[in-house]
Structure formats: C-alpha cells, structure tokens
Structure 1
Amino acid sequence: MHNLTASWIPPNERSKFVTSYLGSSVGVAITYPICGFVIDRWGWEVVFYSSGFTGTVWFAAWWLLIYDNPHEHPRITHNEREYIVNSLGQSVAKDKAPVPWGAILTDRTVLMNIVAQVGGVWGFFTLMTNGPSYFKFIHGWNIRETGLLSGLPHLLRMGWAYVFSQLGDYLLRSGKMSRPNVRKLATAVCCIGQGFFMLGLAYSGCDRYRAIVFLTLAVAIHGAVSTGPLASIVDISPNYAGVILGIINTIVASVGFLTPMVVGYLTYQNQTVVQWQKVFWIATLFLFVSGILYCTISNSKLKSWNSPEGEQNSAEKEMKDMRKNKEEGTADEKGAMLRSAEKNGATAT
C-alpha cells in the first residue's frame, strides 16, 4: 500500500489517504457483532466461510480496478495525471535502485517509527485482542454483548482517523505547521493520548460503563496513527516506503502474540481487577515511552538516501567538506610556520 501512496498521493494529502488503511477498523466494527451473532446461532465454522468469500470478492475488485501509478491508469484525465506527477516531483524514481539497507536500518526516523508503532500497537492489540476477555471475566458479558462492544470502538477509530487526517493535511497545506511537527503531533495523540485513556480503563474497577467509555476512547484515539507514523514512512522515503513498512510490520507483528502471552501470564486462573490493572499499566508504559521518544528524536523530512542522486550529492558534500577542512588545516599549518620563522628571525636579529 505504501508503494501506491508514494506513487499516487500528493504529499499534502497523504494523511487523508493513509487513513484508508484503517478501513480494517470498519471491517472489525461490522464483523465482530455479526460474528458474535453467527457463532451464537450457527457455530464458528460459518464465520470462516463467510469471511473467506468476502475476501475473495474484494480481491477480484482490487485486481480489476487498481494500477501501480498514474501513468498506467487508463481512466484518469490528463489534468489529474499531471497534477499528481507534478506534486510528487522528483521524490519518486522511475527506475528503482538497490535498496540502501544500511541507511534504512540505521536511520533514526525509521527506528523511531518502529518504536512508535510497537508502542501504539501494543496498546491497541491489548484492547482489540483481550478486551472481550476483560469484559467477559470482569464484567460478566456474553459473546453477543462483547461482539457489539468490540465493534463500536473500531468504527469510531476510523472516524477519528479521518477527522484528524483532515486537520493534519490542513496544517500542511496552510503552512501553519511543518511536516515533521504534524507527524509528531499525531503520534503524541495516538500514543500518549491513548495511554491516558488506558490509565482510565485500568482504574475503572467494576464500573462497566466507565470501562466502556475509556476502552472506546482508547481504541478510537489510536486512529491518529494514520497521520503520524504511518504517513511519516512515505514522507522520509517514497521510493522505499514499501520496504520500510515491511520491516516495521514484521517487527510489530510480534506484538500480536506477545500481548496475549503477557495477559495470559498475568490473568490465567486469576481473573481479578488488580491483575487486569497490571495489564493496562504495562500497555500505558509502552504508549508513553514510545510517544515521547518519537516526538523527541524523529524527523519526517525526505532522506538523502531516498534516491541515488541524493546519496551521491550527500557523498559529494561530505568530500567537499573534508577537502575544505584539509585546506583550512594546511593553511593554518603554513601560517603557523611563517609566524614561527618570523619569530626566529626577530630573535636572531
């Protein structure tokens, strides 16, 4: 998806488009309640058949309608194509160069993207995967009720993502905030903001209504990730955005099985408010630390290694600086020698 974003979407409209990635939240919002009803009435097998059929229909539509770049699309207008191409400028190369693995893996913004997404996803997965169990064991909800509860926050997550992406793109278009600061603002909202709501959930006790409110807000506010770390990946390197996203997703995927392990370790045969409080506190720490680190260290500017020319220019600049420093050093040495000679001559006289 990030390759498509880099090839199709003007820089100041990326936040809004990347929000479409969170369409999965709409799918979850619809699927959870339906699955709860289907399992309760017909059994779990039907859920897999219906989900598989829906995915197949989606794939057919994608295959027929999606093109890699504006030049290949047969139905867009000439003006639209020119607008997209001109807005992207030279940031997207026509011919891909070898992947600069070393530069990518050591870049601080890439590393901070990993940190931010690990933290955000830890909080999100804690709620998405284990939220139904929390409400079942602590608040006594059945599968149909937890299905309805699990769907609503994800629908709101998509809604908040769209609203915040509009704000982010407006700040960029109007020049009221720089691109790096927009990404930091969004990351602070989706990580640190989620952390505060997670704390509220931790101290909800047996009050189910308070727990519902805090869980819903904690999931919903994570939607700002589409304007933050997700969009930042395309900002720093349109040419290798897909590679970077693949690296990040590979690492972040580990959170998907680590969070249930932690929850299981803390709550197995010990389903108490205190133990679940520990679960939510761990998630809160991940969210706070990752958000603070990203906002402090990350910088979402286009990287020199995004293109071979950029690397070459950077190398040339480095060589020029080295030559300049060497020349200045040589001049200083010559000056020192002349001053020493003059001093010796004066002494001899």
Structure 2
Amino acid sequence: PRLCSTRYRVALVTHFANFILMAHSCAINITMVAMVNSTEPQPQLNSSTEGLPDDLLGGPPEVSQKLPAKGTGYGGQFALWQRWAPPHERSTLCGISLTGMILGIFTVTLMGGIISQALGWPFVFYIFGGLGCVCCFLWFICIYDDPGSHPRISIPEREYILSALDHQVSSEKQSFPAKAMLRSLPLWSICFCSFCHQCLVNMFVMYTPTYISFVYKVNIRDNGLLSSLPFLVAWFVGILGGQMADFLLAKNFRLVTVRKIATVLGNLLPSVLIVALPYVSSSYITTITFLTLSCGLAPFCQAGIYINILDIAPRFASFLMGASRGLAHMAAVLVPIVCGLLLTQDPEFGWRNIFFLLFAVNLLGLVSYLIFGRADVQEWAKEKKLTRL
C-alpha cells in the first residue's frame, strides 16, 4: 500500500525537513525590522514576502542568506529520491517533499508577526529552531540511503523499489561526462526553462506588494493573511500536481508528455494571468485573485521541469539539480535590475512593460523546453557495462 509504505514516510519526513529549512530562512525576513530598529521586541506584523519567491520550486533572491543551507538540502534530497522513488511515483513523492518549502513560507509569513507581537521576535527562532531539532531526530530515525539499507522496510516494498529502479542506479563509479552534459540540448532546455520560470516567480513575490501599493495605495505587507494566501494555494497545487502527473502516467501517457503538460500549467498560465493585470486594475478583488492564482499555479512545474533531471540523468541528479538551480538563481539578480530600470524610465507604463517582458521570457523558455525537452535517460547518463570477448 502506498500511503502506509516506507517510501511515503520518507516523503513526509523530507516534507517536514523542507518546511523547517524554509521556515528558518523566512524567519529572518519576518523579524529583520525588529532586530535592526529596536532593542526591545516590537510588534512586527510585517508580512512581506520579499526574499521568498523561488522557494515555490527551490531558491532565494537573497542568495547570501539562504544558499549555504538550502543548496545542500535541496541537492541532497534529489540524491535520496534517486534511490527511493519508483519512476511512476516520482512526481507524487517529490511533490510531497518539495511542497514542504511552500508550507514553511505560508506558516512563517502568517504566524511570524503574531509570534513577534505576542512573545517577541526571538521566540520565532526558538519555536522553529525547536521544531528543527525534532526534524533532525526524525531524520536520523527514518531516513536511510536506499531501500536496501533500511532495517524496517518490508521485503515486498524493497523488491518493488529496487526492481523499478533497475538500470537507473549504479554503485559503480564511472567517469564524469562533463563534455556530453555541455552538449546535451535536453539538459540545457531544462536549465533555460527553469531560469525563465524563476524570473516570473521572483518578480511575483518581490514586486507584487509594490504593484498593489502603486495601483491601490494599499500596503499589502501589513496584511499577513493576504500575503500568505498565495502560498497556501501553492501548497495544495504542488501536491495536486504530483498526483496529477502520476495519474496521467497510470493512464499510459508518455513521461515526456506528462512533464511538458505540468510545465505548461505552471509556466504559461501564471504568465497569462500576470500579463492581464493592467487590464483588470479597476477591480481590486480581480487583481488579488489573479496574483494569487499566478503564484498558486506555479508549483505545477515541480512535476515538470524541476524533477525532469531525475528522468534524463538519475545517476547525476544531485549534481545537475544543484547546477540547474544555480543558473536559475541568476534570475534573482537580473529581475530587480531590469524591473527597476523599466519603472524608472517609464513610471506610467513600466508595470505593463514588465509584465509583457515576463510573458515573452517565459514563453521563450517554454517553447525551448517543448522542442528539446526529453524524459528518457540520456546516453551519457546510462550505466556503462563492460563486455568480454
């Protein structure tokens, strides 16, 4: 049974670990003003989501704060799923795991200000730090490198996972195919589409409060519920997206088709909603709805481009995931520069230009992925077998 299986317990523990990982990063953003501006804990209802964008599918704009911890945590868990996730359950298991980051953002964004007001900002770190210790304890008990080394897994489940991953995982060391990777169009299409998607998500979180304030003269940062609502929607969609992908696979859809459908849903639909914002600005409710949906639909890409590397190169998934995320993080640097330039040059139509530019960039990344994206194990990632004459 899936829900009672060891691999799903592993997914729940990694979900909790990602929750803690993201909560610690977000706690810094929520409590920063109180730490800097006062020697006494002050009420801080700041629900700003600055610095949180790409935590929907993995990385931060405030790179110096989060990369050291998140980089190892994010890459490490893909090395785990390389040996634990059967291909037809990969989307669901990775979806459960990765959505822990979104839940961490939602929880700290919603509760950080309340805790700071009631108990003082240090208690934000005490509470989530304590939860982190609990998470470490669970990790040491429940997580093992592979099914073969887990002492409490059932024999049928162990045989099922090992047989499902046969020919994908090898314990033998082989030369690193760096040149073949650099020439791989499927790999580059994943990296480029991830970068384009991160441009959208970075812009969404970093500039949405500014856009709302500019259009409606409303300070969205003082409304914790409104600021955290998109992440709650994104959490549900992230889990639903993994279930949807595995459902389509069970209906005999090709794996590459499923990955591209998920990417279209998480890339194109949010881009369309963003570009429509200038035309619905007369309605505050419609604008907030569009913003919430654009953020909420983005995690569909978790079942698309963001786990596609596990399909094309499972043996090198940990390294390649770190490399692709590193390229995607460039969006965190470029987005503020480009957006600031456009808003400075044309204050009246700057927002419209930004939205159309994001739509064009995401469409370019999506088209490149739809053309060159693959889901079969690439030749340079296959296990080499020696033959004797």
- Please confirm whether the aligned pair reaches a TM-score higher than 0.5, indicating the same fold: yes
AA at the equivalent of 1:21: L
AA at the equivalent of 2:194: Q
Distance 2:333 2:134 in 1: 29
Match for residue 293 of structure 1?
Answer: 368
Distance 2:364 2:191 in 1: 13
Distance 2:274 2:230 in 1: 13
Distance 2:122 2:343 in 1: 28
Match for residue 281 of structure 1?
Answer: 356
- Taking a change above 3 Å as real, the CA distance of residues 273 and 102 of structure 1, as seen in their structure-2 partners, is same
Q: Is 1:194–1:287's contact at 8 Å kept on the other side of the alignment?
A: no
Match for residue 87 of structure 1?
Answer: 164
Please list the CA deviations of residues 280-335 of structure 1 after superposition, one character each: whole Å capped at 9, or x if unmatched: 2222222111111111221111111213417x89xxxxxxxxxxxxxxxxxxxxxx
5+ residue gaps in structure 1? 314-349
Pick the aligned partner of 1:149 from 222, 226, 234: 226
Partner SS for 2:276: helix
Distance 2:357 2:120 in 1: 35
Residue 95 (structure 1) shift = 2.1
How many residues were matched structurally? 310
Q: Tell me the TM-score normalized by structure 2.
A: 0.73
1:134 correspondence with 2:211:
yes
Q: Is 1:119–1:286's contact at 8 Å kept on the other side of the alignment?
A: yes
Q: How do 1:1-349 and structure 2 match up within 5 A?
A: 1-19=77-95, 20-38=97-115, 47=124, 50-142=127-219, 145-175=222-252, 177-267=253-343, 274-309=349-384
Q: Is 1:119–1:287's contact at 8 Å kept on the other side of the alignment?
A: yes
AA at the equivalent of 1:101: A
Residue 262 (structure 1) shift = 2.7
Larger deviation: 240-249 or 201-210?
201-210
Residue 170 (structure 1) shift = 1.7
Please list the CA deviations of residues 178-205 of structure 1 after superposition, one character each: whole Å capped at 9, or x if unmatched: 1111111111111112211111224332
Please list the CA deviations of residues 27-69 of structure 1 after superposition, one character each: whole Å capped at 9, or x if unmatched: 1112112234456677766555555454444344323321111
Residue 90 (structure 1) shift = 1.4
Identity of aligned residues (%): 27
Residue 235 (structure 1) shift = 0.6
AA at the equivalent of 1:22: T
Q: Tell me the TM-score normalized by structure 1.
A: 0.80
AA at the equivalent of 1:167: M
Residue 172 (structure 1) shift = 1.3
Distance 2:282 2:348 in 1: 7
Report which of the two has the higher share of helix. Answer: 1
Distance 2:278 2:116 in 1: 30
Residue 167 (structure 1) shift = 2.1
Computed over aligned residues only, the root mean square deviation of the Cα atoms, in angstroms, reads: 2.5
The structure number with the bigger radius of gyration is 1
